[in-house]
Amino acid sequence: MGLIVALSLLLAIILFVLLAPLASPYACDEIDFDGPWSSAPTLAHQHWFGTDSLGRDLFVRTACGGRLSLLVGVVSTLVSLLIGVAYGACAGYAGGRVDTLMMRAVDVLYALPFMFLVIVLMVLFGRHLLLLFVAIGAVNWLDMARVVRGQTLVLRRREFIAAARIGGLSDARIIVRHIVPNLVDIVVVYAALTLPQVILIESFLSFLGLGAASTSWGALVDDGAREMMATPWSLLFPALFLGATLLLLNLVAEQLRLRLARGAGTT
Amino acid sequence: MSLLVVDRLSITVPGVSLPLVDALSFALDAGGSLAIVGESGSGKSLAMQALLGLQAPELRVQGSARFNGRELVGVGEATLNAVRGAQIGFVFQDASLSLNPFLPVGLQIAESLQVHRGASRAAAWQEAQRLLDAVRVARPGQRLAQYPHELSGGMRQRVMFAAALACRPQLLIADEPTTALDATVQRQLVDLLRDLRRDFALSLLLITHDLGLVGELCEQTLVLYAGRQMEVGASASLLRAPQHPYTQALLRARPSLTDDVDTPLPAIPGALQRAQLDGRRCRFIGRCTQAMAECDGAEPAWRVAERSALRCHRHTSSGKTTSGE
């Protein structure tokens, strides 16, 4: 029940983010020279969420920011999922010394102050969107690798893996064809947990002015926070969307996790 | 010409002096069949898994096992993979555990064909359907797309047979293939196994503790106790006139159709406890009803007697003893 409600609200946000710019006459970075600057939400010039201090329409900007935030979230989650599953499954399946070595490497990476790492990357290589994907994804795979590795250790001892080995399949094939499909449930849950985390990281970086050089919810919240005394709506709308999205994503992930735990309990 | 020659195969846990499997030796002719019997913990499954390099990585395997003249012990995974699945098929006890729950059964049968024969996906699936038909699964075309949980226990075991036989191996190793099934399905599978042996010209290595199966399916029988082979002989004579006290006790422990149901089965006293074993005396000594003084002094040597080859002081000392008849 909770899952359905959360999912439909999320869907509503996604639809808003995708379709809102089509409904409004303004574009993302377009300045409305005719309309009032720093205007409160008004129907007069179709500025439903008001305008910022440069006269840009906040309704459209909130949607545009959402597009980027969600895109970063999904792509970075996929990056971390890809690396994490591959690394974790290999380590878990290999076992023994290889496993120990690979997981100690993960421990070492954990010890790095990762936010600092991302900031250094962004400063060194510029604020490219692509780099942002890679940087966040490359840092977030550590958790995924640990979870996957733990699950693979369990799977490796299962008889059907012995059966696959006895069928003369190569290790690579066993990992790809027999281990990974069995990881789907746990990976889906973990990806759902990673998604809001990644969006939050991106927003945080943007808030610090270190995100990609383009509009995201984090950047909008940053803009809004500067002028929150004069134009509170410029903070309110992006913050509301960001907060709601994070909350809903976490709710969904939690529900999925519970369902998985319950499923594991019954079988 | 021997298909499989196992020579002094030993499996040891590093740091433990007494091996889990101790100098197991036997030969299996092409087209022949051998049953390996013994109670739980005697090392039957372990020995068979070690043949195919499946033992736990911390165990040490010594000795030799030659399949078609090719050594299997101590060789790399790539060499083993060329034999496993392609020339030797393996069926585990419980098909519900040995089929991947996330993959349709057709894929699991077709997979080894694609890997070993380089068959195309379509051809492999077609062959999988023929195989399912050969193991007498009804509506094989429909079953291919189903997942293991959608099939009954007997059907899953048939799927395992189909997968093991996909590449037409010369040898099938079946590890208690019917233990997890009920009596009627067991019956069907035994019949199936016998027919498959004929149709596929299979040699069979059967691991079991069901002595009824042995007589039906295998010409030769090897009795294993605590990792030591105790008696080897033709199934017919071994079942009728067991020489070794352990084999005799095993056979006595079978329920009989003619005995009164209230008569308790004569179980072998005690239990197999590795901690009490000692390489310097007979492994069976604590539980043997016919133990003598010599049994405590030294482990009996392997001796080829008239009816069977066995390891027992009773038979080394008095030559041709025919106890048990």
pLDDT tens digits for range B75-84: 988 889 989 9
pLDDT tens digits for range A176-195: 999 999 998 889 889 988 99
Share of chain B above pLDDT 90, in %: 46
Residue B325 has pLDDT above 50, yes or no: no
Query: From the candidates B100, B105, B149, which should be mutated to test the interface with A, based on the most A CB atoms within 10 A?
Result: B100
Give the integer Cα–Cα distance in Å for B310 and B192: 32
Of the listed ranges B96-105, B157-166, B176-185, B217-226, the least confidently predicted one is B176-185
pLDDT tens digits for range B79-123: 899 899 899 999 988 888 899 999 999 999 999 899 998 889 999
Across residues A234-247, what is the average pLDDT?
91
Residues of B in contact with A162 (CB under 8 A): 49, 54, 92, 98
Q: How many A×B Cβ pairs under 8 Å?
A: 70
The shortest CB-CB distance from B82 to any of A159, A168, A173 is to: A168
Residue B205: which H helix or E strand, with range? strand B203-208
Residue B321 has pLDDT above 50, yes or no: no
Give the integer Cα–Cα distance in Å for B215 and B79: 34
Given the DSSP bridges, would you call strands B203-208 and B33-37 parallel, antiparallel or unpaired? parallel
Which pLDDT band holds residue B61 (cuts at 50, 70, 90)? very high
Give the integer Cα–Cα distance in Å for A259 and B222: 50
| CB spacing of A171 vs B77 below 8 angstroms | yes
pLDDT tens digits for range B257-276: 777 778 887 888 888 877 77
Across residues A156-170, what is the average pLDDT?
89
Give the integer Cα–Cα distance in Å for B13 and B159: 34
Across residues A32-44, what is the average pLDDT?
73
Residues of B in contact with A167 (CB under 8 A): 84-85, 90, 111-112, 115, 163-164
| CB spacing of B111 vs A181 below 8 angstroms | no
Average confidence score pLDDT of chain B = 87
Give the integer Cα–Cα distance in Å for A262 and B44: 38
User: For chain B, what are the domain ranges?
Assistant: 104-164
Are residues B113 and B127 in contact, defined by beta-carbon separation less than 8 angstroms?
Answer: yes
Eight-state DSSP code of residue B269? S
pLDDT, residue A138, reads 75
The shortest CB-CB distance from A160 to any of B98, B116, B164 is to: B98
| CB spacing of A162 vs B92 below 8 angstroms | yes
Give the integer Cα–Cα distance in Å for A104 and A84: 15
Quick count: other Cβ atoms within 10 Å of Cβ B320?
Answer: 8
Which pLDDT band holds residue B317 (cuts at 50, 70, 90)? low
Supply B152's token pair.
């009954």
Across residues B16-45, what is the average pLDDT?
90
pLDDT, residue B205, reads 94
| CB spacing of A181 vs B112 below 8 angstroms | no
Share of chain A above pLDDT 70, in %: 97
Residues of A in contact with B83 (CB under 8 A): 168
C-alpha B85, offset from chain centre: 17
| CB spacing of B115 vs A164 below 8 angstroms | no
The shortest CB-CB distance from B115 to any of A162, A166, A173 is to: A173
The shortest CB-CB distance from A163 to any of B77, B98, B116 is to: B98
pLDDT tens digits for range A90-110: 999 998 899 999 999 999 988
| Backbone torsions φ then ψ of B68, nearest 5 degrees | 55, 35
C-alpha A252, offset from chain centre: 13
| Closest residue by Cα to residue B273 from B255, B286, B254 | B286
| Strands, sheet with B2-12, edge to edge from the N-terminal-most edge strand | B21-29, B2-12, B60-67, B70-71
Residue B324 has pLDDT above 80, yes or no: no
Looking at this predicted complex, what is its ipTM?
0.79
Distance from CA of A94 to the nearest CA of B (A): 11
Given the DSSP bridges, would you call strands B70-71 and B33-37 parallel, antiparallel or unpaired? unpaired
Residue A267 has pLDDT above 50, yes or no: no
Quick count: other Cβ atoms within 10 Å of Cβ B206?
Answer: 27
Superfamily of A70-266 according to CATH: MetI-like (1.10.3720.10)
Residue B22 has pLDDT above 60, yes or no: yes
Residue A88 has pLDDT above 70, yes or no: yes
